[in-house]
Amino acid sequence: MTTAIAQRRATPLDALQRWLPKLVLAPSMLIVLVGFYGYILWTFVLSFTNSSFMPSYKWVGLAQYARLMDNDRWWVASKNLLVFGGLFIAISLVVGVLLAVLLDQRIRREGFIRTIYLYPMALSMIVTGTAWKWLLNPGLGLDKLLRDWGWEGFRFDWLVDPDRVVYCLVIAAVWQASGFVMALFLAGLRGVDSSIVRAAQVDGASLPTIYLRIVLPSLRPVFFSALMILAHIAIKSFDLVAAMTAGGPGYSSDLPAMFMYSFTFSRGQMGMGSASAILMLGAILSILVPYLYSELRGKRHD
């Protein structure tokens, strides 16, 4: 049976509706492609040129990277990153987990205490750096305070000691970020199935044992999240160094981010600066890619 089939034509407005989602997303897509990936590519290209004060596009192969490898300051900065990053991550994790576990014990005014631990995250690293630079001031800061309190002859001049200045950075960074680790773990602890804990208690385990052997191991995803974010903060650390030490004394507390800024914008070594930026990207990728890989593999096993 074939009666006449009327068909309502699609109006231009209908076509617009179909395209609208793509149109709305398009500017952001463009921004991301250009501003993120396009610019990374540009920097990548620059790292193979001999740009100095102005960008030039003369190809010099890996020369800039070679210069980096020869540069003592870059080595100092890289070594500092490992020391700073390692200590910062480790101590922040320990402090954060400890505080989270303690707060998990049904503490009165828990919310208030939590607020205090977390407030440093709301501050700029410049403010943090400024504050700790004063606190650790050799002569007027911590050492004067302790001397006034009775500890005669106490000296604390790490801030101007080339071998120890990195530890000052660690102290300030841990102060800022450990509250964040605490918040992450507290949320994770709250999500732990209480019946597991009860089963362990019935089995006779003591509370510390339960935390160490059962609860914390089950929070591995939180560990990795925290690790990733702390590592990210460490690698990008620029503000803190700028405020606390400006890389000094000399360049003993330099970090790659500071190096990059200094060489690119102050010393007119754009090629080398670009190379250092690409190496920083490499560092982040070297942590990110295995992490993502293990995440995806983990999901497939589930």
Partner 1 sequence: MATLELRNVNKSYGSGLPDTLKNIELKIDSGEFLILVGPSGCGKSTLMNCIAGLEQISGGAILVDDADISGMSPKDRDIAMVFQSYALYPTMNVRDNIAFGLKIRKMPAAAIDEEVARVSRLLQIEHLLGRKPGQLSGGQQQRVAMGRALARRPKIYLFDEPLSNLDAKLRVEMRTEIKLMHQRLKTTTVYVTHDQIEAMTLGDKVAVMKDGLIQQFGTPQQIYNDPANLFVASFIGSPPMNFIPLRLQRREGRLQALLDSGQARCELPLGLSEAGLEDRDVILGIRPEQISLAPTEANGLPGIRAEVQITEPTGPDLLVFVTLNQTKVCCRLAPDIPARVGDSLTLQFDPARVLLFDAASGERLGVVGSPPASTGKVAQFKGR
Partner 2 sequence: MTRASLHPARIAIYATLLAACALYLIPLLVMLLTSFKTPEDIRAGNLLSWPEVVTGIGWIKAWDTVGGYFWNSVKITVPAVLISTLLGALNGYVLSMWRFRGSQLFFGLLLFGCFLPFQTVLLPASFTLGKLGLASTTTGLVLVHIVYGLAFTTLFFRNYYCSVPEALVRAARLDGAGFFTIFGRILLPMSVPIIMVCLIWQFTQIWNDFLFGVVFASGDAQPITVALNNLVNTSTGVKEYNVDMAAAMIAGLPTLLVYVLAGKYFLRGLTAGAVKG
Q: For binding to partner 1 (CB under 8 A), which residues are involved?
A: 3-10, 14, 17
Between residues 70 and 148, which has the closer beta carbon with respect to partner 2? 148
Q: What are phi and psi of 59, to 5 degrees?
A: -75, 130
Sort 139 into a burial class: Cβ within 10 Å, 0-12 / 13-18 / 19+. Answer: exposed
Query: Could you tell me the smallest distance in angstroms from the CB atom of residue 17 to partner 1?
Result: 6
Query: Could you tell me the smallest distance in angstroms from the CB atom of residue 118 to partner 2?
Result: 7
What is the residue whose two structure tokens read 């890989």? Answer: 293
Between residues 24 and 212, which has the closer beta carbon with respect to partner 1? 24
Which does residue 118 bind out of partner 2, partner 1, none, counting CB within 5 to 8 angstroms by kind? partner 2
H helices present in 47-105, as ranges = 63-70, 72-103
Which does residue 270 bind out of partner 2, partner 1, none, counting CB within 5 to 8 angstroms by kind? partner 2
Which does residue 10 bind out of partner 1, partner 2, none, counting CB within 5 to 8 angstroms by kind? partner 1
Between residues 13 and 122, which has the closer beta carbon with respect to partner 1? 13
Residue 49's beta-bridge partner residues?
59
Which does residue 75 bind out of partner 1, partner 2, none, counting CB within 5 to 8 angstroms by kind? none
Between residues 7 and 105, which has the closer beta carbon with respect to partner 1? 7
Which does residue 5 bind out of partner 1, partner 2, none, counting CB within 5 to 8 angstroms by kind? partner 1
Q: What angle do CA 17, 22, 24 make, to 5 degrees?
A: 90
Query: Could you tell me the smallest distance in angstroms from the CB atom of residue 134 to partner 2?
Result: 6
Query: Could you tell me the smallest distance in angstroms from the CB atom of residue 227 to partner 2?
Result: 10
137 Cβ neighbours under 8 A, 6+ residues apart: 159
Closest residue by Cα to residue 280 from 132, 74, 98: 74
Q: What are phi and psi of 9, to 5 degrees?
A: -65, 145
Between residues 1 and 202, which has the closer beta carbon with respect to partner 1? 1
Q: What are phi and psi of 176, to 5 degrees?
A: -75, -45
